[in-house]
Chain A
Amino acid sequence: MAADPIHQFEIHKLFTIGHIGGQEIAFTNSSAYMFATVAVISLLMLATGRQLVPGRMQSVAEISYEFVASMLRSSAGSAGMKFFPLVFTLFMFICVSNLIGIIPYTFTVSSHLIVTVALALLVFFIVLFYGLYKNGLKFFKLFVPSGVPIYILPLVVFIEVISFFLKPVSHSVRLFANMLAGHIALKVFASFVGMLGALGFVGWLGAVLPLGLTIALTALELLVAFLQAYVFAILTCIYLNDAIHPGH
């Protein structure tokens, strides 16, 4: 069981909440980690002081705020700031749940495709509906780049439409695959340490290499956890910018 690298992604039912259309809705370990993520973010953002000179926790809260605010403002302009709570929620939810997931024996919420797909589709539909609401039919200028010769325009529009509808796919699969692959790699190398360690003294010597790799991979995964949250958030900003300013 311990050596199975897939085991960490299993969903366990903790208790049943109810049924929707015959489908059982359960409170699972995934749900627990989702709510833990919400609790950690709320604690970070609400329990910190309002000092003029911030302490450590307050600095983290303010740096997160300004990091997301400047990311959104630089890519979607000040008109995009009405989506600040959304982007901030997305970024913090993904970042904190990824960071929690690096702790051994925990569960990574974004290692499940359904979660990342749900978040990516949320962004996709907000972009689609806000773009249509804000710009009307001008929103479709998004698919018609200016300055393209008329004889290749149909091909370009075709590619643009396809790329628009593939955005949620790449948006969600990127995060999911990064988290999944990283955690599998970590688990595989860590299990080598256990297996080699069981062989005796020579095994102990041999286990040094995968142990070092596991440590290095953990550091890498810390970076990836943050980076994938950042990538998800900045892509959200870029897609929102498309909705606000559809002309290329």
Chain B
Amino acid sequence: MAESHGNKGAAHTSAGDGHKAPFPPFQKETFASQLVSLAIAFVALYLIVSRIALPKVGKTIDDRQARIEGDLAEAQKLKDESDAALKAYEADLAAARSRAQAIGNETREKLSAASEAERKTLEDKLSAKLADAEKTIAATREAAMSNVRGIASDAAAAIVQRLTGVAPDAKAVNSAVDASLKG
């Protein structure tokens, strides 16, 4: 620190220059200089702060606040939208499911009705065929039975002729065959 001795009027003296200097904060000679400097510095700082610095920093803070609020609102809006979409999707899914069930039921009923009808016609056809077949069997049996009588008569006549050497009376053979067939 330079020992700058006060020049004119002993202003701005420093301690230890021979005579006892007063306590620095109470040296009246320095008051005017300090006041002028303080006034200039304080007014300059006030102008810088109030005109430039505070509006700038305040705007930064406000912008950030607005941005945060905007982002939150946007997020809320998107969330609402996605909730609505989810709800719509679920509703669609439920509707589709019930429609699918309805279609399934309808188809099943239709198919079962169709198959039932088909079965019925088939059964009818089959039973008709069965009846026909039974009839044919009965006729065939009858024919066969009548053929058996003829064959039996011929066979009996032939047996009698071989045994007796005399051709038997056809009537007598027939009545005998009839009697044995009955018996």
How many B residues have CB within 8 A of the partner chain? 47
A88 to B54 alpha-carbon distance, docked (Å):
9
Interface residues of A in 107-155 (CB under 8 A from B): 109, 111-115, 118-119, 122
Which residues of the partner chain B approach A12 to less than 8 Å between Cβ atoms? 1-2, 4, 12, 14
Point out the residue from B11, B16, B31, B49 that lies within 8 Å of A1, measured CB to CB.
B16
A36-51, CB under 8 A of B: which get 1 and which 0? 0110011001100010
- The reply to whether A13 and B45 form a contact with Cβ atoms under 8 Å apart is no
Which residues of the partner chain B approach A89 to less than 8 Å between Cβ atoms? 42, 45-46, 49-50
Interface residues of A in 22-36 (CB under 8 A from B): 23-28, 30-31, 34-35
Which residues of the partner chain A approach B34 to less than 8 Å between Cβ atoms? 11, 28, 30-31, 112, 114-115
Which residues of the partner chain A approach B25 to less than 8 Å between Cβ atoms? 9, 111-114, 176, 180
Asked if A162 is at the interface (CB within 8 A of a chain B CB), the reply is no
Interface residues of B in 15-60 (CB under 8 A from A): 15-16, 23-27, 29-39, 41-42, 44-46, 48-50, 52-54, 56-60
Shortest Cβ gap from B21 to chain A (Å): 8
Which residues of the partner chain A approach B64 to less than 8 Å between Cβ atoms? 52
Of chain A, the residue at the smallest CB distance from B48 is: A42
A86 to B41 alpha-carbon distance, docked (Å):
13
Asked if A204 is at the interface (CB within 8 A of a chain B CB), the reply is no
A58 to B1 alpha-carbon distance, docked (Å):
36
* Tally of contacts, chain A with chain B, CB under 8 A: 155
Shortest Cβ gap from A156 to chain B (Å): 35
- The reply to whether A23 and B53 form a contact with Cβ atoms under 8 Å apart is no
Shortest Cβ gap from A34 to chain B (Å): 4
Answer whether A65 and B16 are a contact pair too, CB < 8 Å, given A13-B4, A46-B48: no
Residue with the highest number of chain B CB atoms closer than 10 Å, among A12, A61, A66: A12
Which residues of the partner chain A approach B54 to less than 8 Å between Cβ atoms? 45, 65, 84-85, 88
Residue with the highest number of chain A CB atoms closer than 10 Å, among B32, B37, B59: B37
Which residues of the partner chain A approach B52 to less than 8 Å between Cβ atoms? 45-46
A31 to B38 alpha-carbon distance, docked (Å):
7
Asked if A6 is at the interface (CB within 8 A of a chain B CB), the reply is yes
A35 to B117 alpha-carbon distance, docked (Å):
110
Asked if B8 is at the interface (CB within 8 A of a chain A CB), the reply is yes
Asked if A242 is at the interface (CB within 8 A of a chain B CB), the reply is no
A42 to B47 alpha-carbon distance, docked (Å):
11
Interface residues of A in 86-104 (CB under 8 A from B): 86, 88-89, 92-93
- The reply to whether A65 and B61 form a contact with Cβ atoms under 8 Å apart is yes
Which residues of the partner chain A approach B37 to less than 8 Å between Cβ atoms? 27-28, 30-31, 34-35
Asked if B6 is at the interface (CB within 8 A of a chain A CB), the reply is yes
- The reply to whether A118 and B57 form a contact with Cβ atoms under 8 Å apart is no
- The reply to whether B33 and A26 form a contact with Cβ atoms under 8 Å apart is yes
Residue with the highest number of chain A CB atoms closer than 10 Å, among B8, B52, B57: B57
Asked if A160 is at the interface (CB within 8 A of a chain B CB), the reply is no
A-B contact pairs, 19 of them (CB 8 A): A1-B16, A6-B15, A20-B36, A26-B12, A27-B33, A30-B33, A37-B45, A41-B48, A45-B49, A50-B56, A62-B60, A89-B49, A93-B41, A111-B25, A112-B24, A112-B30, A114-B35, A119-B38, A176-B25
Q: Which residues of B contact A (CB under 8 A)?
A: 1-2, 4, 6, 8-9, 11-12, 14-16, 23-27, 29-39, 41-42, 44-46, 48-50, 52-54, 56-61, 63-64, 67
Besides the contacts A28-B30, A92-B45, A112-B34, what 4 more A-B pairs have beta carbons closer than 8 Å?
A1-B1, A6-B15, A34-B38, A93-B42
The 6 A-B pairs with the shortest beta carbon distances in the complex, nearest first, are: A85-B50, A45-B53, A31-B37, A34-B41, A13-B12, A9-B24
